[in-house]
Structure 1
Amino acid sequence: MSRWNALTGGTSGEDYAARFAALALSGKDVHGEARFCAALVPAGARVLDAGCGTGRVMIRLAELGYDCVGVDLDESMLAVARKQAPGLPWFQADLTGFDPALLGIAADFDLVVAAGNVFPLLAADTEATVVKRLAAALRPGGLLVAGFGLDEDHLPVPPSITLAEYDDCCARAGLTLVDRFAGWDADPYDGGGYAVSVHSR
């Protein structure tokens, strides 16, 4: 079980979607992650949304012309995603055992995105396994992009992994750090409360 499921009980899909819908109605930009990803790979690229939740990022990328696949453990989140975009491929799977072949999909993604706080909310000591599995789903030269809340303003519990530990997991999986940003607006990382890391295979 992930720390997310322990926190939410796997029943927060509708509430999570409603929170972002309210933000969008108030004029807030809720597509920063998709815009960031679109700046990394061209339209038509294959994108795996690992920990896709209610599908906000993936649906936007699909609208922009990307070939997307979404995977999440939380069925309540996936139910919202399937309702919002029934024509897109959504899969329920634990990232610790993620195997594209078992889902009948190719392991040749141009980009894997773990937006939000996927890695900080994994079950402790599973992070290296998840990095290895996601790295294996990338084509040579593909990119793994992950977001990290590093303080209580960005994460409801202390993160289970530091950025240095994450970098080590990536290095052991054959990935190289490309860059790190202070958020999805691609501002230079300043050691603050949120980070976005880009690694290459």
Structure 2
Amino acid sequence: MSRWHELTGGTSGRDYAERFAALARSGKDMHGEARLCAALVPEGARVLDAGCGTGRVMIRLAELGYDCTGVDLDASMLAVARRQAPELPWFQADLTEFEPGELGVPAGFDLVVAAGNIFPLLAPGTEAAVAGRLAAALRPGGLLVAGFGLDEAHLPVPPGITLPEYDDCCAAAGLTLVDRFATWDADPYDGGGYAVSVHRR
């Protein structure tokens, strides 16, 4: 069982969406992830939102002209995403077993984005398998960008993966680190408790 499911029971979609809606109403910028993705690949590129949740990032990328596909295991989160953007392709799938072809979606994505602490909230021991699945979904030269917390101040659970461990998972999947930031606004990484990593296949 994933740490996310242990934390939420798979029923938190509506509450999660409302929390972000409240932040947006307060004037907080909610589109840093989409902005960074848009800086990495050109408009029209194929993007896989792995662990898409309620769709906040993917819906914005679709508005910006990207060809997006969303995948998540949590049905409550996907229900929100489908209500907000029924025209977009949302799939329920376990990232540890993810095969785009089985969903009727061709592999060869230009970019895979894993925002929202996806890797620390996986079932312990499955991180390498997920990195391998996401790498396999990329075209040669495609990018995996993942942002997640590294300490208790940036996570809802105790830390589950270090940056060196994540890099090792990516290397084993045939990915090479090309950039690392401290935020989705591309601030330089300073060794702090949150990192956004960009790896290339």
Smaller-chain TM-score bracket: over 0.9
**Which amino acid in structure 1 is aligned with residue 113 of structure 2?**
V
**Which amino acid in structure 1 is aligned with residue 174 of structure 2?**
G
Q: Which runs of 5+ in 2 are unaligned?
A: none
Kindly report which structure 2 residues correspond to 1:39-78, keeping only aligned pairs within 5 A, or say none: 39-78=39-78
- Cα pair 2:148 2:196 within 8 Å, conserved: yes
Q: Give the SS at the match of 2:48.
A: strand
Kindly report which structure 2 residues correspond to 1:145-164, keeping only aligned pairs within 5 A, or say none: 145-164=145-164
Kindly report which structure 2 residues correspond to 1:98-137, keeping only aligned pairs within 5 A, or say none: 98-137=98-137
1:132 Cα deviation from its structure 2 partner: 0.4
Equivalent residues, number: 201
1:151 Cα deviation from its structure 2 partner: 1.8
Structure 1 distance, partners of 2:82, 2:65, is 18
Aligned position for 2:142: 142
**Which amino acid in structure 1 is aligned with residue 54 of structure 2?**
T
Structure 2 distance, partners of 1:107, 1:159, is 31
Structure 1 distance, partners of 2:16, 2:196, is 21
Structure 1 distance, partners of 2:153, 2:84, is 29
Q: Deviations over 1:56-115 (max 9, x none)?
A: 000000000000000000000000000000000000000000000110010010000000
Q: Deviations over 1:15-54 (max 9, x none)?
A: 0000000000000001100001000001100000000000
- Cα pair 2:72 2:95 within 8 Å, conserved: yes
1:153 Cα deviation from its structure 2 partner: 2.2
Aligned position for 1:192: 192
Structure 1 distance, partners of 2:42, 2:142, is 12
1:120 Cα deviation from its structure 2 partner: 0.7
Structure 2 distance, partners of 1:159, 1:140, is 31
1:194 Cα deviation from its structure 2 partner: 0.7
1:197 Cα deviation from its structure 2 partner: 0.3
CA RMSD of aligned residues (A): 0.6
Percent same amino acid at aligned positions?
85
**Which amino acid in structure 1 is aligned with residue 87 of structure 2?**
G
Q: How does the TM-score come out when normalised to structure 2?
A: 0.99
**Which amino acid in structure 2 is aligned with residue 36 of structure 1?**
L
- Cα pair 2:150 2:161 within 8 Å, conserved: no
**Which amino acid in structure 1 is aligned with residue 172 of structure 2?**
R
Q: Give the SS at the match of 1:17.
A: helix
Q: How does the TM-score come out when normalised to structure 1?
A: 0.99
Aligned position for 1:7: 7
